[in-house]
Amino acid sequence: MECKLIVHPLAHGIFQISDAMHGPNSDGYSTEPGKATANSYLIIGEERAVLIDLTLNTPELYAYAQSLAGKPILVLLTHGHPDHIYHLNTVPEAWLHPADDTMVREGIPGISFPYPDTVLHPLTDGQQIDLGGRTIKVISLPGHTMGSVLFLDQESGLLFVGDTCARRLLYGVTPTIPVFRHCEMLERLMKQDFSVMYSAHDRCALPKEYIQTILHCIREELPKAGETVMIPGVGEMKNLHWGEEDTLHYFDLAIMEQYIQ
């Protein structure tokens, strides 16, 4: 298949699929911390596989993942943002937390177009998805969006976090919970049994301890931040830049003022 995708094996039966090799917002083939990338993840069990997020703006992604897995694929979405549902019309059905259904079906006014006819199945907190020989656990963690979820592969201890526990956090583009309430949920997440996290926009692994960095930045650094950034279609957001982008000691937060509570 003619398809410019980069595939990194992460663990037994788990692959990171990326694109944007040398385009804007890319860091080439590197898996070191760097500029934002776009990553989907394929987890293959004995009977079926899951593809986490349609993060690549390439219509061949689903077919490519199917050929790599060699078995039926379920498409799981960490949330309903437009850069996670590219070419959703190329898949027969997808699984999503119902709180983000409207975002997908109606689009986000001024930002993205709708997918009104997609068959969406609900994901719920604590749900176990059996792939045959391995099970994926769904963890609900609202904040980035109300329907944001994480996926834990219990066999490898890898946690797939979408845009939730990432080095760049966009907060409050659509109605959500206060960010300090979100922090309490991040603290609870640390009690779950996992070792590293993989996000949708960094190829590097994030150690579990990175959650402490997020908590520090939101609780200690955000109140001191004075910058704002204008997001097209959204408006002015408060902006925190912390650390260096080519290290793990980096966090970039854009947040609507009303959620800083």
Shortest approach of Zn ion to residue 62 CB, angstroms? 20
Which residue from 61, 73, 74, 81 is in contact with Zn ion, where contact means CB under 5 A?
81
Shortest approach of Zn ion to residue 145 CB, angstroms? 7
Q: Is 53 in the site for Zn ion (CB under 5 A)?
A: no
What's the alpha-carbon Rg for the chain, to the nearest Å? Answer: 17
Shortest approach of Zn ion to residue 130 CB, angstroms? 27
Shortest approach of Zn ion to residue 196 CB, angstroms? 20
Structure tokens at 249: 């000691």
Shortest approach of Zn ion to residue 147 CB, angstroms? 11
- With respect to Zn ion, which residue has the nearer C-beta, 49 or 146? 146
CA distances from 71 to 92, 138, 144, 233, 240 (A): 15, 21, 32, 40, 43
Which helix (H) or strand (E) segment holds residue 137: the answer is strand 135-140
Q: Is 202 in the site for Zn ion (CB under 5 A)?
A: no
Rounded to an integer, what distance in angstroms lies between the CA atom of residue 191 and that of residue 177?
21
For residue 174, the Cα-to-chain-centroid distance in whole angstroms is 16
- With respect to Zn ion, which residue has the nearer C-beta, 98 or 133? 98
Shortest approach of Zn ion to residue 57 CB, angstroms? 14
Q: Is 252 in the site for Zn ion (CB under 5 A)?
A: no
Q: Is 167 in the site for Zn ion (CB under 5 A)?
A: no
Residue 218 sits at φ, ψ, to 5 deg, of -70, -45
Q: Is 97 in the site for Zn ion (CB under 5 A)?
A: no
Q: Is 163 in the site for Zn ion (CB under 5 A)?
A: yes
Q: Which stretch binds Zn ion (CB under 5 A): 3-11, 87-95, 156-164, 222-230?
A: 156-164
Amino acid letter for position 47: E
- With respect to Zn ion, which residue has the nearer C-beta, 163 or 202? 163
Q: Which stretch binds Zn ion (CB under 5 A): 155-163, 204-212, 222-230, 244-252?
A: 155-163
Q: Is 182 in the site for Zn ion (CB under 5 A)?
A: no
Looking up tokens 């059996």 gives 130
Alpha helices in 33-111 (DSSP H): 61-69, 101-106
Q: What is the DSSP letter of 217?
A: I
**Cβ-based burial of 182 (10 A; exposed 0-12, middle 13-18, buried ≥19):** buried
The footprint of Zn ion (CB under 5 A) covers 81, 163
